[in-house]
Amino acid sequence: MEKRPFVTKEKLEEIAEQYPTPFHIYDEKGIRENAKKLKEAFAWNPGYKEYFAVKATPNPFILNILKEFGCGTDCSSETELMMADALGFSGGDIMFSSNDTPAEEFQFAHKIGAIINLDDITHIEYLEKAIGEIPETISCRYNPGGVFKISNDIMDNPGDSKYGMTTEQMFEAYKILKEKGAKHFGIHAFLASNTVTNEYYPLLAKILFELAVKLKEETGAHVKFINLSGGIGIPYRPDQEPNDIMAIGEGVRKAYEEILVPAGMDDVAIYTELGRYMLGPYGALVTRAIHEKHTHKEYVGVDACAVNLMRPAMYGAYHHVTVMGRENDPCDHKYDVVGSLCENNDKFAIDRMLPEIHKGDLLYIHDTGAHGFAMGYNYNGKLKSAELLLREDGSVEMIRRAETPKDYFATFDFCDILEDLI
C-alpha cells in the first residue's frame, strides 16, 4: 500500500518558485471533508461539539475553516486563548484545558468566558483565589490510573501521566465545586494517544458515562457534558488502516444509550477535542534534497530539519516520505534522510528504503498537518518555514510567512547590542 500526496510534483515545483522550500502545505478540500464527516458521525447527539486542539495547528486560517463547521477551540495557554478570542470564538466555544496553570491564564480564560477544565483538585482553591469565584459551568479532568488496555493490547499508561484527578478526587472535587456555586459540570479524560482502532472512543465513553452516573447519584451534580478529548489517531504508516469515524460515533452512541439514557441523563452533550485526526493527514512538509553523503551509511541531506518537524527526532516517530516524480520507481536504495542541525537525531527517516534520490528532488513528508509546524523551535538559529494552504480551487495562499533573521533577533529590541540586525 502506498500513501499518495494530495498535490502533484508539477504543482509543488510551481509553488516552490514563489515560496522556497521547506514549507508546510495544507489541503483545504481534505480538511473540509473530514470536518463534515466528523459532524455527521456524532449528529445523533444534539449537543455535540468538536473543540479543535489549537496546539496541533495554531493557525487562524485553519481555525476559521473549522469554525464554518461549528467547531470550537481547545486552548492550553493564554496565547491560544487570545487567538481564539480574536477570531470570534465566543466563551462557550472555547475550552481551556491546561495544567500547572498560572493564575493570569485562569483570569484571562474567565474574562473571555471560556469553559475551564481543571486538571487537579488543588486547582479549585487556586482558581477561586485567581478569579474571585467558581464559574457556574466547570469541568474536571479524570485519570483512572493503571494501564489502559483494549482487549489484551496496552494502549497507554494513564497511571504514569501527570494529567487529571483520581476517582476519589473527582467525587471530592464535584462536592467542593457544588458547594462553591458550580451548577453545571463536565468530565474530561484523555487515556491514550494516537489510537488507530475504532474501539478506543466507545470504551473511553463507557468508562466516563459510568463515572458520570455515579457522580450524579452521589453528589447530585448536573453533568452537562462529557468530553472524550483527543486520542483518535491517524495511519502514519502506509500499511495501517485508518479509523472509521462513523463506526466510532456509532460505538459511542450505543454506550450512551446503554448507560446514560436509563439513568435519565439523555441531555448530556458529547464533546471532542481532536487535533491529529482533524488535521494530521491534510498537511505535509515539502523539502528539497540538497546534499548526499556516502560514509558508513548513505545519507540524503534536505533543506528542512527537526525545527520544521521534530516528531521523528523527539519520539522516533514514523513519517512516510514520497520522492516526488519517482513514485513508480523501485525502492531499492537505503537512506537516512537528515537535516542540518548539530544533533544526530535530526533525521526524518532512518534506514528507509526509497527510490534513488538526486540532488534537487522534492521530498514530500506526509501527515505533518498536526504537531508539525506547531512544535517548531529555533535551535541552531534555524528559522521556521512558511505555511501554505492549497485551496479547493487549486490556488495556493500563504497563511504564515517564513521567519526571517529579523524575527529571530526581535527579542533584543530592548537594547542596541544587535540594532543593525533588528
As separate numbers, helices (DSSP H) first and strands (DSSP E) second, the chain gives: 12, 19
**Nearest of 345, 336, 286, 360 to residue 310 by alpha carbon:** 345
Backbone angles phi, psi at 386, to 5 degrees: -75, 160
- Annotated catalytic residue: which of 75, 140, 342, 415? 342
Distance CA 231, CA 274 (A): 7
DSSP helix/strand/coil, 421: helix
Distance CA 182, CA 136 (A): 4
Max Cα–Cα distance, the chain, nearest Å: 70
**Nearest of 368, 280, 289 to residue 323 by alpha carbon:** 289
C-alpha cell at 56: 496541533
Distance CA 180, CA 200 (A): 35
**Nearest of 222, 213, 212 to residue 263 by alpha carbon:** 213
C-alpha cell at 396: 495556493
DSSP string, 134-191: --SEEEEEE---S-EEETTEEEE-GGG-S-SB-HHHHHHHHHHHHHTT--EEEEEE--
DSSP helix/strand/coil, 22: coil
Task: Tell me the one-letter amino acid at 234.
Answer: I
Name the strand (E) or helix (H) holding 213: helix 200-219
DSSP helix/strand/coil, 356: coil
Our answer to whether residue 342 is catalytic in this structure is yes
- Give residues with Cβ within 8 angstroms of 336, minimum separation 6: 297, 298, 299, 300, 347, 349, 350, 351, 352
Backbone angles phi, psi at 380, to 5 degrees: 65, 15
Distance CA 255, CA 246 (A): 15
Return the active site residues: 342
